[in-house]
Amino acid sequence: MFEIGISSNNECGKDYKEILQNIKDAGFENVMLSAKSGKMEEVIEYAYSLGLKIPYFHVDYKDASDLWVKGKSNARYVNYLKSTMETLGKYEIPIAIIHATMGEASLLALPPNKHGVDCMKEVLQVAERNNVKIAVENCDKPNFRSVAYLLDHIDSKSFGFCYDAGHHNLYLPKKNLLKKYGNRVMAIHLHDNLMDWKVGYDYSRDMHYLPFDGKINYEKVCKNLAKANYNGIIMLELHKKSMNTPYIYDDMAIEDFLKLAKSRAKLVGNKIQGYKQHR
């Protein structure tokens, strides 16, 4: 049976302590913390005090595009990543989730390049010394070329893929990301949307609904994860206050939202397991 988890950035409380307590009370075993949660070590220690497990930590991505440049901003970002790997090692958090780029067109001026790969390999050396693996997440359409470049140029069991089903089906629905990179999947993010992205750097349709509440074919998602032989955490990355209209959970009580989220996570896990048994 799969263990289930949920991200801490879900608006299910007024601060990280209330959010984490609500996650615990809802019966989740695992939480994905992130740089947005609050002071890193403080939040990690509080999650552990509640008995929650932290299978992965989402690294701050606001400067992620600096990986590919040369100069002071690159050095700052690389040092930040190295320091984060050391902290994750200290707390025995096994996987760091990173972005390969961040945001708008002005921040994506440089294509992926050898310099960026070399920088990531430096970070990976620090991660490996601290028993941490790095998983790079697919985001929007232009971002994926940088994701693929890193995966194609870093051949290490400590460097893999964070498969985000919501982003995949919103931005690259016709591309089978798991066909090529299924054997590199270390982590997953599950959420739903209306698959209505059109063009450019528009994140407003990245709704982060509960699986099965949007238009993504989750039967197909589960089947593909089964083909990839995924055995990790069923990790939901949700927003109770969704990114844009329609706001379908605003009037739902937090405990009801988390209860429903737990049932959806279990449903996904059961479907993946079922497809595995019929392969």
Alpha carbons within 13 angstroms on the beta-carbon side of residue 43 total 24
Confidence of residue 279 (pLDDT cuts 50, 70, 90): confident
CATH number of the domain encompassing residue 171: 3.20.20.150
Return the pLDDT at 183: 97
Query: Considering the chain, what is the average pLDDT of its residues?
Result: 95
Q: How many domains does the chain have?
A: 1
Q: Going by C-beta distance under 8 Å and a sequence separation of 6 or more, which residues neighbour residue 113?
A: 68
Q: Please tell me the least confidently modeled range out of 136-140, 241-245, 252-256, 265-269.
A: 241-245
Q: Please provide residue 53's backbone torsions phi and psi, each rounded to the nearest 5 degrees.
A: -95, 150
Cis status, amide bond into 173, omega within 30 of 0: no
Answer yes or no: is pLDDT of 106 > 80.
no
Rounded to whole angstroms, the Cα distance separating 121 from 128 reads 10
Nearest to 116 by CA among 108, 106, 127: 108
Domain membership of residue 251 as a residue range: 4-277
Per residue in 20-74, pLDDT tens?
999 999 999 999 999 888 899 999 999 999 999 999 999 999 999 999 999 999 9
Residue 141 confidence class, pLDDT cut points 50, 70, 90: confident
- What is the mean pLDDT of the segment spanning 155-174? 97
pLDDT, tens only, 59-90: 999 999 999 999 999 999 999 999 999 999 99
